Structure 1
Amino acid sequence: MTDFLNNTEPKPRRRKGTGIILVAVAAVAMLAGSAGAASAAGSFVLYRSGVGLPDLRIHVASFDAVQNWSGGYGSDAAYNSENCQTAASLFRSQPGVSVSYWCEPKVETAGNGLWTRLWQAIAGQGN
């Protein structure tokens, strides 16, 4: 509606919360753009089979520590692999366990870990 006294149009009203949505979308886009196969390098995943279903793959844990020191391991992959194998061994050694546990190198896929990276960025823990 035109203000006839001042001959001006009223300013359009902006919905509350649109700024927050735009910031969130921009953050997700930046994190998605920085996602790549390099973020999975040196990471391992612990899986287990199902009870009575030996071909079932159930994700148990991810081992993706980044060491800023060699600590005698030489690489993040060696460190994460050893921790994954240790966990698998401990799970297997429990009495009454009828499923198998194994470790595999983590493979980065599109969107894999996106929410984790977003949460770390929000919490101030991202790189």
Structure 2
Amino acid sequence: MTIRNPAGRAAPETYHHGIEVSGPTRTLYIAGQIGTLTDGSIPPGIADQADAVFANMKLVLDEAGMTFADIVKTTVFLTDPADRAGFSAVRARYFASAKPASTLLYVAGLARPEMVVEVEAIAVAAT
């Protein structure tokens, strides 16, 4: 993977503008992960839901033999702009120093009214 942050533009703190992937690789497209727990319940609040989102994403990554370091792109959907800081704090625990290309959108709602966050991702690893 080659990081593509254009010259003359400030490099974002938590993501890269672009990541180029070439060579023999496997690509995993991860559907939007939501904050459901193993019993199917959805905890209240951004921190608990974001933690569940990333725990669920880890299960998909594990199944493919990948890690959060292999994620090259995320799309984040939040229902409340006030939740951004709380989401970012949880995200930082899972991604550590990895900085995938990222898009964050504020939406009017998700599939169920109690959901406040959903994240989809693309991961790439060598074959």
TM-score, normalised to structure 2's length? 0.26
Higher helix share: 1
Of the two structures, which has the highest relative contact order with CA contacts closer than 8 Å and spacing of 6 or more?
A: 2
* Higher Cα Rg, which structure: 1
